[in-house]
Amino acid sequence: DVKVTQSSRYLVKRTGEKVFLECVQDMDHENMFWYRQDPGLGLRLIYFSYDVKMKEKGDIPEGYSVSREKKERFSLILESASTNQTSMYLCASSWITGATEAFFGQGTRLTVV
C-alpha cells in the first residue's frame, strides 16, 4: 500500500512563528502536493512539486513556501504564521503521468493563536 505520512496530526503555533509541515511518501512518486482544506471552500492547492528541487505555485501560495530536497519528502513552510492560516493541511503524492490517482496523508490540523 502506498503510504503518505505527515509528521504531525495536530499543531498549535503562535502568530509570527515559523512552522514546518513535513510529508513523506514511500512510493517513489514524482508529484507531491500540499493542500489546505477549509469549510465551504473544499481543497485548495497551495504548492506542488513534480521533481526534486522543482516547485510550482498552486492557487493560494501567499504566505507559504515549500522545499523538496529529496524525492520522498515535501515540506510546507509558513514563514510567519498568521491566524488565517489555521486550517487542515493535506499532503498528497501521485505518479507524474498516466493514472493520476493521488494518495493523501492523514492531514495536519494547524491552529495559529
Partner 1 sequence: EDKVVQSPLSLVVHEGDTVTLNCSYEVTNFRSLLWYKQEKKAPTFLFMLTSSGIEKKSGRLSSILDKKELFSILNITATQTGDSAVYLCAVEPLDNTDKLIFGTGTRLQVFP
Residues found near partner 1 in the complex (CB under 8 A): 4, 9, 31, 33, 35, 40-45, 48, 50, 56, 58, 88, 90, 94, 96-97, 99-107
Smallest separation, CB 41 to partner 1 (Å): 6
Smallest separation, CB 15 to partner 1 (Å): 25
Q: 12's torsion region: left (phi>0), alpha (psi -120 to 50) or beta?
A: beta
Q: Which residues contact 103 (CB under 8 A, 6 or more apart)?
A: 2, 3, 4, 25, 27, 29, 92, 93, 94
For residue 78 the three cell numbers come to 509558513
Smallest separation, CB 107 to partner 1 (Å): 4
Q: Which is nearer to partner 1, 15 or 110 (CB)?
A: 110
